[in-house]
Amino acid sequence: MHLETLIYEKSNGVAEIRFNRPHRLNAVTQTLYDELLRILDDVEQDSAIRVAVLTGEGRAFCVGADMKEHGSGNRTPFQRRQYLRGEQDVCRRIFSLTKPVIAAVNGYALGAGAELAIVSDFLLMADNAQIGLPEISIGTFLGGGVTHLLPQLIGLAKARELIFLGDRLDGTQAQAIGLATRVFPATTFMADTRNFAMRLASKAPLSMAMAKRQLNHGIHSGMESALTAELEGMTFCATTKDWQEGVDAFAEKRQPVFKGE
């Protein structure tokens, strides 16, 4: 797969996707969105991949829109809308992917970069990283479903504060309000992130996919719908080879080896 703006590597069930525009602090372009969609499709289709990690080359995760391109004035209104739709399509794909996505925020995550991190299943941050939503401060608006997801993660009052004021949070602050899942030292950040990813990759993939879907949608469906969906999930999992492997491994006091079957 030829890529201009991303680095894509697979190893031990983990797909690592790195934004590769460090000279622009990994600011997003239409090409980056297009390439990221192609990669996410590959992650979905590759049965050997159990988890995806998004991170950035250099000192940023992703600082959002490339303002140099925005300011060039060379795009038609249709092209501008297509560019803006690119982020919505990518975030929708991350949300609907059957495999967990980790945002490994190694540096600045601002604007669209923060939104890509927020829509991911796990948001890991280096202790010296920063995340923020400056859109209101520069006269634009938010994307990536953040107006839906952020209040669920941190509460409506705190979401208003972050969005209206545009303040940046470091890793410790983000974890304290429930935005960051884990915070790791900058010196060991990627090693710690990969260890976290490997723990996820060792779990039963069919069960993981069902859990992700139900967690993402169950909050809106009510208790009875959740109970019905869970019953169907438990019934389905009990028909799989992975279920039998889990039972056997427990009885034999060993770690299960799941195959997604």
Q: How many structural domains compose the chain? A: 2
Q: Is 252 an annotated catalytic residue?
A: no
Q: Which residues touch 119 (CB under 8 Å, ≥6 apart)?
A: 91, 94, 95, 144, 145, 146, 149
Give the residue among 117, 208, 243 at the shortest CA–CA distance from 169. 117
Instruction: Report how far residue 123's alpha carbon sits from residue 125's, in angstroms, rounded to the nearest whole number.
Output: 7
At 186 the pLDDT is 97
Bridge-based pairing of strands 182-184 and 122-126 is parallel
125 and 242 both lie in a single domain: no
Q: Which residues touch 26 (CB under 8 Å, ≥6 apart)?
A: 19, 20, 56, 57, 58, 60, 61, 62, 63, 113
Q: Give the tens place of pLDDT for each residue, 191-220.
A: 999 999 999 999 999 999 999 999 998 777
To the nearest whole percent, how much of the chain has pLDDT over 90? 80
124 and 214 both lie in a single domain: no
Look-up of token digits 């690119």: 86
96 and 129 both lie in a single domain: yes
At 227 the pLDDT is 85
pTM: 0.92
Instruction: Report how far residue 101's alpha carbon sits from residue 123's, in angstroms, rounded to the nearest whole number.
Output: 9
114 and 10 both lie in a single domain: yes
Q: Does residue 63 sit in helix, strand or coil?
A: coil
**Does the pLDDT of residue 170 top 60, yes or no?**
yes
**Does the pLDDT of residue 70 top 70, yes or no?**
no
* Range(s) of the domain holding residue 220: 205-252
Marked catalytic residue, from 16, 35, 57, 115: 115
Q: Which residues touch 235 (CB under 8 Å, ≥6 apart)?
A: none
Instruction: Report how far residue 177's alpha carbon sits from residue 130's, in angstroms, rounded to the nearest whole number.
Output: 14
Evaluate the CA torsion angle 45, 51, 57, 63 in order and state its sign: positive
In this structure, is residue 257 part of a structural domain?
Answer: no
Q: Give the tens place of pLDDT for each residue, 72-111.
A: 567 777 777 777 788 999 999 999 999 999 999 999 999 9
Q: Is 232 an annotated catalytic residue?
A: no
138 and 157 both lie in a single domain: yes
Give the residue among 167, 181, 158 at the shortest CA–CA distance from 133. 167
Give the residue from 182, 201, 220 where a domain finishes.
Answer: 201
**Does the pLDDT of residue 146 top 60, yes or no?**
yes
The DSSP-derived string for 82-121 is HHHHHHHHHHHHHHH-SS-EEEEE-SEEETHHHHHHHHSS
140 and 246 both lie in a single domain: no
189 and 218 both lie in a single domain: no
Instruction: Report how far residue 5's alpha carbon sits from residue 22's, in angstroms, rounded to the nearest whole number.
Output: 10
Q: How many helices (H) and strands (E) does the chain have?
A: 11, 10
Element (H, E) at 18: strand 14-19
Marked catalytic residue, from 135, 224, 230, 232: 135
Residue 190 belongs to domain with CATH number: 3.90.226.10
